[in-house]
Amino acid sequence: MEDNNTTHFGFKQVPTSEKAKHVAEVFHSVASRYDLMNDLMSMGIHRFWKRFTLHNSNVRRGAKVLDIAGGTGDLTAKFADMVGSKGKVVLADINASMLNVGRDRLTDLGKSGNIEYVQANAETLPFPDNTFDCITIAFGLRNVTDKDKALRSMLRVLKPGGKLMVLEFSQPVSWLTPIYDTYSFKVLPALGKLFTNDAESYRYLAESIRMHPDQTSLKKMMEDAGFERVDFMNMSAGIVALHSGYKF
């Protein structure tokens, strides 16, 4: 049971003021192997989920896009091509290690002219009101301490008519749950130990998915934050959901 002074870190309760530090330690640990982590967690299907997100973003040339918790820059790289030389993509991440990995990777890919890198907390985004045409946060919202505050912050920096897209692990259909649980809590930590010698970080990531609001709950949270026309689309039998909402 949470109170105002504690929150969940995976299945554990920690002081609210310390959650960001604990999450940072996980991502400092996995930053250099983040792409491998995504492949292990999703069996490679995360690429399809991200392509689907990009396709549904409706981003056009000249647009300004904010990719929160952008990690190693999968979405940022594609958005940079979509917005062209007159557009801008900001890759934002609270974790310096992740931001450095993303910058190095995108530089190696020859993508730099229309990309900016900002270390930022999603709860207090350091941008003016009405800045971005599109905001994405992929597999990052579940790690945010105060999700409601973060959603309000995203609404503030989104332009009127702009779109927020939240790609996140969610609640699978009931028949899949036993298989999914076995994979998450038995197989995934073992793979983490085998490939990265870090079972604990992978165990936390599996637990954090279970503590994240389900599809309907997140939809209501977005509506309560002020987003309109909020909807979601399930992928892979609900293992992942793509939520979208607009600012009007």
Q: 184, 176 in Cβ contact below 8 A? A: no
Express each pLDDT in 152-211 by its tens digit: 999 999 999 999 999 999 999 999 999 999 998 998 888 888 877 888 888 888 899 998
28 in a structural domain: yes
84: β partners: none
When the pLDDT of each residue in the chain is averaged and rounded to a whole number, the result is 91
For residue 53, the one-letter residue type is T
- Whether the pLDDT of residue 121 is over 80: the answer is yes
Angle at 173 between CA 151 and CA 191, to 5 degrees: 80
pLDDT in tens, 124-153: 999 999 999 999 999 999 999 999 999 999
Instruction: Give mean pLDDT, residues 112-118.
Output: 93
pLDDT band (50, 70, 90) for residue 16: confident
For residue 75, the enclosing domain spans 6-174+202-246
CB of 73 closer than 8 Å to CB of 50: no
Looking at residue 3, what is its pLDDT?
A: 54
Q: Which residue has the higher pLDDT, 40 or 150?
A: 150
Say which CATH number the domain at 98 has.
3.40.50.150
**Structural domain includes residue 81:** yes
Residue 6 pLDDT grade (very low, low, confident, very high; cuts 50, 70, 90): confident
168 and 136 Cβ atoms separated by less than 8 Å? no
Question: Any binding-site annotation on 6?
Answer: no
Structure tokens belonging to residue 147: 């999700």
How high is the pLDDT of residue 1?
Answer: 44
pLDDT score of 11 more than 90: no
Question: What's the predicted TM-score (pTM) here?
Answer: 0.90
pLDDT confidence of residue 188 = 85
Strand order through the sheet with 132-138: 115-119, 88-93, 64-68, 132-138, 158-169, 240-246, 228-235
Residue 234, C-beta contacts closer than 8 angstroms, at least 6 positions apart: 170, 215, 240, 241
Q: Are 214 and 200 in contact (CB under 8 A)?
A: no
For the ranges 13-22, 115-124, 199-208, the maximum mean pLDDT occurs at 115-124
Q: Which amino acid is at 209?
A: I
pLDDT for residue 31: 67
Flag whether 94 is in a domain.
yes
In a domain, 103, yes or no: yes
Give the pLDDT confidence score for residue 125 in this predicted structure: 98
- Each residue of 50-95: pLDDT tens digit? 999 999 999 999 999 999 999 889 999 999 999 999 999 999 999 8
Residue-level pLDDT at 44: 84
Q: What is the pLDDT of residue 4?
A: 64
Q: How far is CA 144 from the centre of its chain?
A: 9
Helix (H) or strand (E) holding 181: helix 177-182
Q: Is residue 187 part of a domain?
A: no
Q: At what angle do helices 46-56 and 34-42 cross, to 10 degrees?
A: 100
Residue 233 in domain? yes
Residue 193 is assigned to a structural domain of this protein: no
Judge whether 185 lies within some domain.
no
**Is 145 one of the annotated binding-site residues?**
no
Q: Can you give the pLDDT at residue 68?
A: 98
Q: What is the pLDDT of residue 14?
A: 79
Q: How many domains does the chain have?
A: 1
Residue 214 marked ligand-binding? no
100 is an annotated ligand-binding site residue: no
